[in-house]
């Protein structure tokens, strides 16, 4: 039996995809020690891992601003957290004496600790994977959908020039390297991806954009629904058999009252029943606006509701899109931040839903999109095709095979 330390990120969309992996590793006899924030202790322990706390040192959050501004702030956040967590956790991780380390692509501290301990490191993408090599295929795509560079003066002055992506990335990379007194770096692969010799992608090549940019160091493991314990009191008895629309915009953003009101206007007095999850948003100002065909709750058991839903109106987070695909539910995607725009494009390309491109979607447009998806069977059929592509990867069983093979080979190579 080997011991693996897993460094996660304290977001539901980053923890949920790892629970099945943890369970499979434990089934193979591996001991898993999982670092995350305290709010996720019970969920992680139920998967069988030993929980270790970040002790309040992480705390992912959002930043409101333009694309490049947000990108820089996030890169700075990851570098700062890595500096703090690497220092705070190194001695403890060394005492655990892991045989290898698995870490979220955003957990740069996991990569750094693996290097300091001289043990094999494996990264996983819980978000939609974006790597620098994708820009070699289509730099304009990378500028528009990853960097979200619209409005940046350098980009606007040079829009359409073949080298604009490289110039902008070099500028960002130099800024980060100088700030943290580091040698030259690639801010995409070295910070946002923390790339390793083995990188798990919880998707399939069929769904991934620019899949040919991902070499054989990237293992596509599909996506598997792992039953999770969610202590949510939901009134299932109110579900009455009408076509069901599920609406959720994730657990990070909580200032979405306008979007929720648009949903009320779009689907009020319709033939649908609607379940809406609003997270930590204050419901009080909205109560008088909630239509009678809506069930609105702070939290909703998402997997249960998706198993009954006909259409999912979503912000386009990776966890939500993958769970919807596995549940066979087509989507209307209203992206809000960061890689959700890429997720929306992937849904559109795969024919598994509709990407709403307007910054402020109107009630009429939203209603038309929901009606279209509910009426046309090809959206659901395409979801089934993508779900099958996930299964064809071999799933988590194959992923664990490759992890154990990689660790054994790495140890053997280092011994030579």
**d(C-alpha 353, C-alpha 345), whole Å:** 10
Position 204 pLDDT exceeds 80 = yes
**d(C-alpha 268, C-alpha 408), whole Å:** 58
Please tell me the least confidently modeled range out of 10-19, 42-51, 54-63, 174-183.
54-63
pLDDT of residue 252: 52
Higher pLDDT, 258 or 124: 124
SS3 250: coil
Q: Which residues pair with 311 in a beta bridge?
A: 245
Contacts of 204 (CB under 8 A, 6+ apart): 220, 222, 223, 386, 389, 390, 392, 393
Give the mean pLDDT of 74-100: 95
Burial class, 323, CB count within 10 angstroms (exposed 0-12 / middle 13-18 / buried 19+)? buried
pLDDT of residue 263: 94
pLDDT of residue 345: 94
Four-point Cα dihedral 172, 178, 184, 187, nearest 10 = -30
pLDDT of residue 139: 83
Give the tokens for residue 85: 């967590």
Note the residue count of the chain.
416
**d(C-alpha 171, C-alpha 152), whole Å:** 13
Comparing CA positions, the residue from 208, 195, 186, 229 lying closest to residue 137 is 208
**d(C-alpha 377, C-alpha 365), whole Å:** 20
> What pLDDT, in 10s, does the model give residues 107-138?
999 999 999 999 999 999 999 999 999 988 88
Q: How confident is the model at residue 315 (pLDDT cuts 50, 70, 90)?
A: very high
Do strands 31-36 and 244-248 pair parallel, antiparallel, or not at all (unpaired)?
unpaired
| Sheet of 294-297, strands arranged across | 294-297, 273-277, 244-248, 311-314, 331-333, 353-355
Question: CATH 3.40.50.2000: which residues of the chain?
Answer: 3-222+393-415, 236-390
Position 250 pLDDT exceeds 90 = no
CATH 3.40.50.2000 fits 236-390, yes or no: yes
Domain 3-222+393-415 sits in CATH at 3.40.50.2000
The answer to whether residues 104 and 110 touch, using CB atoms and an 8 Å cutoff, is: yes
């Amino acid at each position: 039996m080997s011991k693996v330390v897993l460094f996660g990120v304290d977001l539901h969309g980053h923890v949920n995809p790892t629970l099945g992996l943890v369970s499979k590793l434990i089934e193979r006899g591996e001991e898993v020690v999982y670092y995350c924030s305290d709010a996720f202790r019970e969920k992680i322990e139920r998967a069988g891992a030993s929980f270790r706390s970040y002790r309040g040192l992480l705390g992912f959050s959002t930043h409101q601003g333009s694309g490049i501004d947000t990108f820089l702030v996030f890169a700075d956040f990851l570098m700062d957290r890595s500096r703090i967590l690497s220092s705070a956790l190194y001695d403890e991780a060394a005492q655990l004496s892991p045989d290898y380390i698995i870490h979220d692509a955003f957990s740069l501290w996991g990569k750094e600790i693996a290097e300091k301990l001289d043990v094999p490191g494996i990264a996983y993408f819980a978000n939609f994977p974006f790597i620098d090599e994708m820009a070699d295929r289509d730099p304009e795509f990378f500028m528009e959908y990853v960097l979200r560079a619209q409005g940046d003066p350098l980009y606007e002055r040079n829009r359409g020039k073949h080298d604009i992506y490289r110039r902008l990335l070099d500028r960002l990379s130099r800024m980060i390297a100088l700030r943290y007194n580091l040698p030259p770096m690639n801010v995409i692969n070295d910070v946002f991806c923390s790339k390793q010799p083995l990188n798990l992608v919880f998707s399939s090549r069929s769904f991934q954009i620019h899949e040919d940019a991902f070499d054989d160091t990237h293992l596509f493991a599909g996506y598997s629904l792992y039953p999770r314990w969610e202590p949510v009191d939901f009134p299932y008895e109110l579900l009455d058999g009408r076509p069901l629309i599920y609406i959720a915009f994730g657990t990070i953003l909580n200032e979405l009252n306008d979007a929720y009101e648009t949903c009320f206007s779009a689907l009020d007095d319709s033939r649908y029943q609607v379940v809406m999850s609003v997270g930590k948003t204050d419901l009080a100002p909205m109560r008088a606006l909630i239509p009678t065909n809506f069930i609105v709750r702070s939290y909703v058991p998402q997997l249960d509701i998706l198993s009954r839903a006909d259409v999912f109106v979503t912000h386009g987070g990776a966890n939500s899109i993958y769970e919807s695909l596995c549940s066979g539910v087509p989507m209307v995607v209203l992206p809000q931040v960061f890689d959700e725009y890429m997720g929306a494009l992937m849904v559109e390309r795969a024919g598994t839903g509709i990407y709403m491109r307007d910054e402020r979607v109107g009630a009429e447009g939203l209603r038309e999109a929901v009606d279209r998806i509910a009426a046309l069977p090809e959206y659901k059929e395409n979801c089934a095709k993508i779900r099958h592509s996930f299964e064809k990867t071999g799933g988590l069983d194959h992923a664990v095979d490759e992890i154990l093979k990689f660790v054994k080979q790495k140890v053997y190579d280092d011994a030579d």
